[in-house]
Chain A
Amino acid sequence: MKRARIGPWIALTLGTLYFIVPLIATFEFSLRMRRGEYSFDAYRVVFADARFQATFGYSSLLALATIIVGVLLVVPTAYWVNLRLPKLRPVIEFITLLPLVIPAIVLVFGYLRLYNSESWLPMTGHEQATDLLLTFGYVTLALPYMYRAVDNGLRAIDVRTLTEAAQSLGAGWPTILFRVILPNVRVAVLSGAFLTFAIVIGEFTMAALLNRPAFGPYLQLIGANRAYEPSALAIIAFAVTWACMGLINLVGRGARTAAPAP
């Protein structure tokens, strides 16, 4: 009996060490900028760097745009698939999984080929158009996570009956979608949104090849030229991701507290 209990604990400890030790080492190294003592100098340098503020701000803005476009694309699609086209679900799921199979570099080369300045739609010829292209690229990258989160949320409620109840009370499609369905999958949408934010903040390939001043390429640049700041940046990136995950849990817990009694 005791032996059976020890096994899982050993596995858990080894797993935790595997993840925690490099993180602690990175954190410890990021504090060593001042010779002979620990300090937050590396963090101070990073936060004071105008490029950090600019790239982080740029990526945050694009993450926000990605979330808005993603929600507007995914929620009505997933809703319609659940309500009227359940037979299409495997096809839609397959399509939304494609970004996990096709590397970002392949996607971005496709974009460059299709939308370069010599093409019929020269989006890479203008900064704002390239930002738009990058946003669409991010929407594609985040699609598997956003779709699954929203689809799970929709499956947890009785979409069809709620829709019919609203219809019988005189509601049209926009009212049903925005006042009945969306508020009831709010937690799922927020989960998808936080995951999207975490993906966009750390994304390198697309932003670098489209030559946009995003946080990912900045991380790479600092990593190639400085000693302690990259470690500080890695910890900051982890903190941002964890904050997103924490928010998902927090929002999820709030929803569970308010969940209907069985």
Chain B
Amino acid sequence: MAFLEIDHLRKAFGQITVVEDFNLAIERGEFVSFLGPSGCGKTTTLRMVAGFESPTSGIIRIDGKDVTEAKPNQRNVGMVFQSYALFPNMTIAENVGFGLKVAGRPAGEIKTRVEEMLALIKLPQVGGRYPYQLSGGQQQRVALARALAIKPKVLLLDEPLSALDAKIRVSLRQEIRQIQRELGITAIYVTHDQEEALSISDRIVVMSQGRMEQVGTPFEIYNYPRTRFVASFVGTLNVLKGQVVDAAAGKVTIDGQPIASASHLNGAKPGEACSIALRPEAVSLTDPTSGANSLQGMVEEVSFLGSVVRIRVRFGENAISLDTFNKPSVAPPAWGTKVTVSFARDALLVLDGAEAA
């Protein structure tokens, strides 16, 4: 039995269903991210786990115990909010010790635990300060320490890094992951930032319009997206419109140029329109190796992104963006240059429900 089980969870506000048939089993110590655009139901699902929203139907079990109807203060679930939510009237030490004080723990134990938590977040000297005297990143680390101080069964993080600047976001997400690993705590992390989810999660639940689109490891989600939504939401994707030549052999034409996919185009008939997807990093400007696909086109745009150069090549109706590493010794192609792009047959993604354009 999984440590945290969510069975057929559904939430509707009046006639509008915001979470539909959500099923998930999370193992003890696992770090799972809910990833999706605004309004996809990820935060609502998290809030149902926390007890701030009541499910319309479904069951939530934590450590084998049904907590679906339990009040938020009876679930022993730690929560970190986007807006930090530190109590402005309390010092940092009082904030971190709040949960323990509420639980009626002895003063000595609270003091020791607070010191332990502040050391864990590498802010041992800030106990006597007030939240407003800390930076955003420091406040969020304190919020994490406060949530962990009560030794919760599950740690819930609701877009905790959204209010911070880019550099702090990267360092803090690594810190959160490191602390979670160190404590072995089960965690659910809500984010709309795919890079964040891919970099720190054991598994990712991609959500759209209240539904689970795909559950998998970051590797699976990125490399083997099961739906068009997942493919387009996670990472950058080139979607090519073509015509089916031989569905069984995976042969299609893109703007009149033949290519072949390693997958079949199930059910498609010759001459039908189809959509095929390609990751930018799967495409190269080098000559094709044997068996690889190639397309000839013209450089339409060159974007210098630092370590990577993104080049956009047009073939007619279709265009492909491809990423090449920046080599100071090799200048990127100029706009308007005729080039040949190549990519492996298995790099072409045939998406569920995307066979017909």
- A interface residue numbers (CB < 8 A to B): 157-158, 161-162, 164-172, 175, 180, 183-184, 186, 258-261
Contact between B83 and A168 (Cβ–Cβ < 8 Å)? no
Which B residue sits closest to A259, measured CB to CB?
B132
Which of B19-27, B97-105, B215-223 lies at the interface with chain A? B97-105
Contact between A158 and B87 (Cβ–Cβ < 8 Å)? no
B131 within 8 A of A: yes
Q: Which residues of chain A are near B85, meaning CB under 8 Å?
A: 158, 161-162, 164-165
Which of B70-78, B108-116, B188-196, B232-240 lies at the interface with chain A? B70-78
B50 within 8 A of A: yes
Beta-carbon contacts of B273-304 to A below 8 Å, as 1s and 0s? 00000000000000000000000000000000
Q: Which residues of chain B are near A259, meaning CB under 8 Å?
A: 132
Beta-carbon contacts of B48-69 to A below 8 Å, as 1s and 0s? 0011100000000000000000
Q: How far is the CA of A162 from the CA of B90 in the complex (A)?
A: 12
- Given A157-B88, A158-B85, A171-B102: A165 in contact with B132 (beta carbons within 8 A): no
Chain B: how many interface residues by the 8 Å CB criterion? 32
Contact between B73 and A170 (Cβ–Cβ < 8 Å)? yes
Contact between A169 and B150 (Cβ–Cβ < 8 Å)? yes
A260 is contacted by which of B71, B99, B132 (Cβ under 8 Å)? B132
Contact between B79 and A258 (Cβ–Cβ < 8 Å)? no
Within 8 A of A (CB), among B103-158: 103, 130-133, 143, 146-147, 150, 156
Q: How far is the CA of A169 from the CA of B75 in the complex (A)?
A: 9
Q: How far is the CA of A166 from the CA of B83 in the complex (A)?
A: 14
Extra A-B contacts (14), CB below 8 Å, given A164-B81, A258-B132, A260-B131: A162-B85, A164-B85, A165-B81, A165-B146, A167-B71, A168-B75, A168-B77, A168-B79, A168-B156, A170-B74, A171-B98, A186-B89, A260-B132, A261-B132
Contact between B73 and A171 (Cβ–Cβ < 8 Å)? yes
Q: How far is the CA of A158 from the CA of B82 in the complex (A)?
A: 12
Contact between A260 and B88 (Cβ–Cβ < 8 Å)? yes
CB distance from A254 to the nearest CB of B (A): 13
Q: How far is the CA of A171 from the CA of B150 in the complex (A)?
A: 12
CB distance from B137 to the nearest CB of A (A): 13
Q: Which residues of chain B are near A166, meaning CB under 8 Å?
A: 87, 98, 102
Beta-carbon contacts of B192-216 to A below 8 Å, as 1s and 0s? 0000000000000000000000000
- Given A161-B83, A164-B79, A165-B79: A170 in contact with B88 (beta carbons within 8 A): no
A-B pairs with beta carbons under 8 Å apart, 15 shown: A157-B88, A162-B87, A165-B79, A165-B81, A165-B86, A165-B87, A167-B51, A167-B52, A168-B79, A169-B73, A170-B76, A171-B99, A180-B87, A186-B89, A261-B132
Q: Which residues of chain A are near B78, meaning CB under 8 Å?
A: 168-169
CB distance from B239 to the nearest CB of A (A): 39
